[in-house]
Structure 1
C-alpha cells in the first residue's frame, strides 16, 4: 500500500471550497484508491497510480498546479500583479469604470454603457461562471454557484452596472483570500528553506559537495565558520558556538564540542567542525518539525468543525431565504417583481459564507507556523485551542523546574576526617552505583581532586544505600533510614539532617557501624528562569501551578515555595501523578502537564494538553506530546499560552463579526435598503477583515 502512495505540493489552491472540490475530483479518478488534501500546507497525498496530468486536470477549474513533494526545483514565484486572475480583475475594473463614465455621459441603457458593463462581467467573471454553471447543472451549491445565479439574475432584470461591480468585488475578494493564504503558508515554506540543500562531506580520503538526499549515515560533514549545518549529527572534532534559534527558538548560541548533538538548519558561528551524520535527510529534526506542522495545520480545530457543520446547513438556508424574499412579496402582497427579485439576489450575495469559512483555518495555520518559527511545535488546532483555555499547569520537578543534575551542596563533618577524605571514601563506594546522587558525589570528588581509594565487597542496600570496605574499614553510605537501622545517630545529627532537608536538600550519611563520619547534602539545582516563568504564568491568569515530584515533602515544599508555586504534591509514584492530574482537572478544569516527554507518560496523556520539553533532542517528545518546546527550557511556555489565547480570541472575533455583518445586511431587506452593492461590500468586507485579523498572528512576539 505504502509503495503506491504519492505526495505532491500544490500551487494555486485558493480557497477552502476549491480545495474540497479538487479533493472530490481527484477521488473520482479511477486509479485513485484514497486521497488526503491538506489545505493549510497545500499538500496532496494520493494512494493510487494517478498521473500529474490527471491531477492537474482535476484542478483545472481553479488553475491548480501539481508538483512532486521531493522535487527540489524552486517554485516559480509570480508577482501578485502578474497572476492571470488578478490581471482579469484589473481589466474588469477598467471596463466597470468606463461603464460608469458612459453611464453619466450618455445613458444607463445606451448600448455603449451596457457593452462596457457586459465586458466587465464576462472578463472578470469568466472563470466564476464556468465553475458556477457546472455546479448549477449538478445542483452543487457553493459560493460560486450563488454568485453566478446573482449575476445572471442582475443581468435579466437589467442591473448591468451592479452586476459588473459584483463581479469585480468578488474577483478582488478571491484574489485577496488567495494572497493571504499564501502568506500564511509561508510559515512552512520558510521552515523548508532553513536547512541547506547541499552538504560538504568526507568519505574516506575524498571530500565532496553532494545533495543532502545522497548523504549517508556515518558520513563526516565538514562545517566551516558561518555555514549552516546540513544534517543532524554528532560532533567528532572541533568546538564552536551554534545558533539553534531556527530549531529551538533560543536566541543565545549554544557551545558545542566533541560528543554533542547538532541539528540541520542551525548555524555554525565561529570554529570549524567535523560532524558524523546520524540521521537521513527525511529523519532530521527539521524534517520532522515540517511534517508535524503540516499535519497539525490539516487537523481541524473544534471551532473549525463547528463552522464547517454550520456552513453545510447555512448555504441551503440562504438559498431558501433568497427565493422566499424574491417570490413571497410579489405573489402575496402585490410587490414589484423586479424590485423583490433584486432583493432576493442581494440576499444570495450577502449570504455567501466566504468570511465564515476562512474565519478559522487562516488563524490556525498562521498561529501554528508562528509557533514553529519560535521553537514551539503545536501538534494541531485542537491543542492550540485547549492551551488557550488552560486554568492550571502541573510540572514534573526533575529536569523541568530544576536542571535535573544534582550537585553536592554541603558536607557536614562529624569526626576529625577532612572533607577531601570523606569525598574519597564516598566516591570509592558510589562509583559502583548508577544512582543520580552517586554521580553528584563522583563529580564533586573529581572537581576537588580527591584521592582515589579502592573499595572492596560492594553491596547495595535496596532503596537505602550501599556498603563496602575501604582501606580495611567497612563503611556505609545512604539515607538516614539506613543508619537508623544500624545505630542511634543522636538528636544533634537528626537536627542537622532536618535543617538541610528543610532547605530542599537530600541528605546522605557516611559512616561505620559505630559512628557517623559526615553528612553529604545533595540538591537538584533550580533553573534560573523557573521563578520568573511561574510569575509570568500567574500574570497571564493561570489560577493553579502545581509541582508533582517523587521527592520527600520537605524538599518538595522548599522548592515549591521558593518558586512561588500555588501547590506542591510530593512523594508521588507515576500512578499517583496520574491521580493528581485527574484531581486538578476536576477542581480547576483544563490542565496542562509539563514534563520531559519520556517519564510520566500517563500524566502527560491524561492532561488536556501534554507539553514536552527538549523536543529537539528526543524523538519521544516530538511523537508523544501535544506540544513540544524544542529548547530544554520553559522560556517558551508563557509565549505559547499567550499565542493560543490570542488565536482563540481572533477566531471568536472572526466568527462573531462574519455572522453579525451577515445578519445586519440581511435585516436591510425589510426596509428594502439592501442593494447588490451593499451585499457584495458586506461579503467582501467581512472576508477581508477576517483574513487581515487572522494575519495579526504572523507577528513573531505576541506577549
Structure 2
C-alpha cells in the first residue's frame, strides 16, 4: 500500500501525439518502463495519454517513442491545452502537404506500372521506380520492422517488413510496392478513426470559455480562467457561456445545461443556485461567486473521468490483447510452414510457396482485431458523456449490457425527492396546533431525514417560529424516527411501528385505519406523541417523477427481467408508488443494511444487477451491485467519484438510453472481433488451393480494418429516442 501511495505521489501525466495503432501504444509503454528512474508506466490509448510513475525527461519519453515519431507534452501545460485542436488543425492543412509521402509513393508506383507496360517487368527503370515507391511509402515501416527483427519482437510491422523483404527477393516488386502503400493507407485510416472517436469527448474541452468578466476592487476585468480564484465574483451576460462553476449571488436567468447534464430544456437559476462551466446563460444577467478552480470544475472532472474511462480495459479488450500476444508469433510459424513444407515434402515450387508464405504474413496482420474493441469503447463512452451519462470504464459499459435486474431507491430516484406535507391532523382539543408544529419542526430541523424539509417548509408557510424552541437530549432512532426533550417533555416523531414499541402511547383501531388510508394513497404517515399519548398524525407525499413509469416500461422492452423498488418507507406508500410506476418487486420498510442484503440476494439470483440511487445515502447498496448508478452527478463530487455510472442530470430517462448504448456496443464489439478473425481465416483458407496473393492479403486486412473502424464509430451516432 505504501509503495502504491509513493507511486501516485510521483505520477506524471503526458499527452501523446502520433499513435497509429494500439500495438504501437503498447510498445511505447514497454519502452518507457525501461527508462532509468521510471518505476511504472501506463498508456491510455483511448485518450492518447501516458501516466509515468517516477522521473523521466520529455526528451527521454520522445526517444522511447522515436519509432513512431511520438510527441509528448505534460498534460497540465499550456501546450497541452492547445493539443486538443491539433487534429482539427491538421485537417485544415492542404491535402497534398498532409499526405505528401503517400502521394509521392503512389506517383512512383504509377510511373512504375507505365514503365512495366512499355519496357517490361525485367527492366531496370521499372524495378527502380517500384523500389522508390516502396522506400518512400514504407521507410518508417522498415525502420521499426528491422529494429523489431533484431530484438525478436513480433508485431504487425515486423510481419510487413519480412513480407516486403521476401517479396523483393523473389522479384514481386510491383505487388510489394502496392502492399506498402495499402498498409500506409490502412494505418492512416486507423489513426483517422481513433482521432474521430477521441475528439468526440475532447470537443467538450472547448465548451467553457477561456476568459471571464470578473468584478475586483470595484472594477470589471476580463481575466483568464487560470487566474480566477475561489470567491471571485463573475459577471455573465445574456447569451454568454459560463466560464467557471459557482453559485448565483445576484440575478435570475434560464441556463442551458445540455453540455453537462444532457437536458435540452433550459433550467431556471436564481440566487443560491449552482451553475456549471460550459453551460449557456440564455436570458438575464447573473453574478456568480466562484466555488471551484478551473481544474476542479464539473466539466473538467467529466473530461478527466471519461478519458480515464476510455483507457480502462474492458473484458473484451483483455481477450483481444491476450489473443494478439500469441496470434502474431503463431502467424510467423504458419507462414514459415506454408513456405517450406510443400516444396520440401510435396514437390511444390519454391517461388510459389514462398510467395504464399509471404501472403500469409501480410494477411496475418492483426490491425483490425487490435482496433476492434478500443474504437468501440471510446466512441460509446464519448457519446454517453455528450448525452449526460458518465460511464467510468469499458468494464461497466459491458456490464450494463448484460444486466438482468435493476433496483431503484424510491426517494429522489423514482420520485422527485421534494416532499410536501399533505395532511396535519392534531388529535385532542387540548393541543395547540401551531405550538405543536413549532416543536415538531424544531425536532425535525435536527434530523437528517429527507422528509424533514417538508415539515420545515410547512412551518415557514404558516409563519410558525421554531428557531427559539430549546431541544435537549435529541437522538435519532435508526429506521424508526427521532426523539427529543422540549420543556421537560420527551417527544417522539416517527413511523407507526415506533409507537407500537412505546409502553403507554398506543394506536387505537380508528387511528390505525386512518394511517392505513393515508398510506394507501401513497403518502408517508408520521405519528407525533409522547411516552403516554398520541398528539398528531402528519402525512407527507413525495411526487412521483413523470418519467418513472415510461422508464420502467422501456427497461422491460430492453430485456430487463426484474425491476425492484427499495425503500425505508411503509408498505402502503411503497405499494401505491411501486404499482403506479410498474416495478415488478416492491421492498418496503428496509433498514440500510437490509437494502444491502437484498442487493446481494438479487445478485445470487441474476448475477448482473444494477442499483440506482443518489450516490450518497445508498452507498453500500451501490457498492454491492454489479453496476452502481448515481442520479444527479452534476455538482455532486461523491456521485462522480464513487458511482460506476453517473446520470449527470436529475433525469431517469437517460437509463434506458445507457442500457441500449451498452447493448449496441457489446454487439458491435462481438461483431468486430468475429469479423476480424473470420476474414483472416477465410483468407488463410485460400492458401490451400494456392489462390492467396499479396493483393488479396493486404486488401482483406485493410478492408477489415476500415469496416471494423466504421462499425465502431456508429456508436457515436446512437440517439436517445431511437
Give the alignment of 1:358-377 within 5 angstroms: 358-377=371-390
- Look up the match of 1:20: 26
Give the alignment of 1:318-333 within 5 angstroms: 318-333=331-346
For residue 683 of structure 1, the aligned residue among 684, 687, 701 is 701
1:233 aligns with 2:246: yes
Query: 8 Å contact 1:408–1:441 — kept in the other structure?
Result: yes
- Look up the match of 2:230: 217
CA deviation profile, 1:211-241 (whole Å, cap 9, x unmatched): 2122111111121112222211111111211
1:103 aligns with 2:116: yes
Query: 8 Å contact 1:85–1:175 — kept in the other structure?
Result: no
Report the CA distance shift for 1:480/1:305 in structure 2 as closer, same or farther (over 3 A): closer
Query: 8 Å contact 2:109–2:133 — kept in the other structure?
Result: yes
How far apart, CA to CA, are the structure 2 residues paired with 1:494 and 1:580?
A: 29
For residue 514 of structure 2, the aligned residue among 496, 518, 521 is 496
Greater Cα shift, 104-113 or 597-606 = 104-113
Report the CA distance shift for 1:196/1:527 in structure 2 as closer, same or farther (over 3 A): same
The CA deviation at 1:90 is: 2.2
How far apart, CA to CA, are the structure 2 residues paired with 1:414 and 1:3?
A: 63
Report the 3-state secondary structure (helix = DSSP H, G, I; strand = E; otherwise coil) of the residue aligned with 1:360. Answer: helix
The CA deviation at 1:159 is: 1.0
CA deviation profile, 1:539-577 (whole Å, cap 9, x unmatched): 111111011111122222221111100101112112111
Gaps of 5+ in 1: none
1:432 aligns with 2:443: yes
1:58 aligns with 2:64: yes
Greater Cα shift, 526-535 or 71-80 = 71-80
Report the 3-state secondary structure (helix = DSSP H, G, I; strand = E; otherwise coil) of the residue aligned with 1:230. Answer: coil
CA deviation profile, 1:275-330 (whole Å, cap 9, x unmatched): 11111222221121121111111111110011110111100100000000000000
CA deviation profile, 1:84-120 (whole Å, cap 9, x unmatched): 7732222222222333333334422233332322221
1:142 aligns with 2:160: no
Report the CA distance shift for 1:647/1:487 in structure 2 as closer, same or farther (over 3 A): closer
RMSD over aligned CA atoms reads 2.8
How far apart, CA to CA, are the structure 1 residues paired with 2:27 and 2:490?
A: 81
CA deviation profile, 1:335-355 (whole Å, cap 9, x unmatched): 000000000000000011111
Report the CA distance shift for 1:469/1:662 in structure 2 as closer, same or farther (over 3 A): closer
The CA deviation at 1:81 is: 5.8
Greater Cα shift, 27-36 or 315-324 = 27-36
How far apart, CA to CA, are the structure 1 residues paired with 2:78 and 2:467?
A: 61
Report the CA distance shift for 1:499/1:26 in structure 2 as closer, same or farther (over 3 A): same
Report the 3-state secondary structure (helix = DSSP H, G, I; strand = E; otherwise coil) of the residue aligned with 2:590. Answer: coil
Query: 8 Å contact 1:297–1:380 — kept in the other structure?
Result: yes
The CA deviation at 1:474 is: 11
Report the 3-state secondary structure (helix = DSSP H, G, I; strand = E; otherwise coil) of the residue aligned with 2:526. Answer: strand
The CA deviation at 1:23 is: 2.2
Greater Cα shift, 659-668 or 424-433 = 424-433
- Look up the match of 1:596: 614
CA deviation profile, 1:4-43 (whole Å, cap 9, x unmatched): 5433222211111211222233333334443222111111
- Look up the match of 1:655: 673
Greater Cα shift, 275-284 or 449-458 = 449-458
Query: 8 Å contact 1:479–1:509 — kept in the other structure?
Result: yes
Report the 3-state secondary structure (helix = DSSP H, G, I; strand = E; otherwise coil) of the residue aligned with 2:649. Answer: coil
For residue 455 of structure 2, the aligned residue among 438, 441, 457 is 441
1:11 aligns with 2:23: no
How far apart, CA to CA, are the structure 2 residues paired with 1:482 and 1:343?
A: 83
Greater Cα shift, 56-65 or 690-699 = 56-65
- Look up the match of 1:348: 361
How far apart, CA to CA, are the structure 2 residues paired with 1:85 and 1:55?
A: 25
How far apart, CA to CA, are the structure 1 residues paired with 2:713 and 2:31?
A: 30
How far apart, CA to CA, are the structure 2 residues paired with 1:476 and 1:381?
A: 49
- Look up the match of 2:196: 183
Report the CA distance shift for 1:424/1:443 in structure 2 as closer, same or farther (over 3 A): farther
Report the CA distance shift for 1:278/1:132 in structure 2 as closer, same or farther (over 3 A): same
For residue 401 of structure 1, the aligned residue among 380, 395, 414 is 414
Query: 8 Å contact 1:39–1:298 — kept in the other structure?
Result: yes
Give the alignment of 1:87-126 within 5 angstroms: 87-126=100-139
1:201 aligns with 2:207: no
Give the alignment of 1:258-657 within 5 angstroms: 258-411=271-424, 422=433, 425-434=436-445, 435=447, 436=449, 437-447=451-461, 463=480, 479-480=495-496, 486=504, 490-509=508-527, 519-657=537-675
How far apart, CA to CA, are the structure 1 residues paired with 2:319 and 2:95?
A: 37
The CA deviation at 1:589 is: 2.3
The CA deviation at 1:403 is: 1.8
Greater Cα shift, 83-92 or 139-148 = 83-92
How far apart, CA to CA, are the structure 1 residues paired with 2:471 and 2:312?
A: 59
Greater Cα shift, 77-86 or 521-530 = 77-86
- Look up the match of 2:48: 42
Report the 3-state secondary structure (helix = DSSP H, G, I; strand = E; otherwise coil) of the residue aligned with 1:7. Answer: strand
Query: 8 Å contact 2:438–2:465 — kept in the other structure?
Result: no
Gaps of 5+ in 2: 1-5
Report the CA distance shift for 1:61/1:523 in structure 2 as closer, same or farther (over 3 A): same
How far apart, CA to CA, are the structure 1 residues paired with 2:388 and 2:466?
A: 44
- Look up the match of 1:68: 74
- Look up the match of 2:90: 78
Query: 8 Å contact 1:131–1:144 — kept in the other structure?
Result: yes
Query: 8 Å contact 2:406–2:563 — kept in the other structure?
Result: yes
How many residues align structurally?
700
Report the CA distance shift for 1:384/1:513 in structure 2 as closer, same or farther (over 3 A): closer
Report the CA distance shift for 1:452/1:68 in structure 2 as closer, same or farther (over 3 A): closer
Report the 3-state secondary structure (helix = DSSP H, G, I; strand = E; otherwise coil) of the residue aligned with 1:545. Answer: strand
The CA deviation at 1:68 is: 2.6
How far apart, CA to CA, are the structure 1 residues paired with 2:370 and 2:532?
A: 79
The CA deviation at 1:158 is: 1.2
Report the CA distance shift for 1:642/1:680 in structure 2 as closer, same or farther (over 3 A): same
Query: 8 Å contact 1:427–1:441 — kept in the other structure?
Result: no
Query: 8 Å contact 1:432–1:458 — kept in the other structure?
Result: no
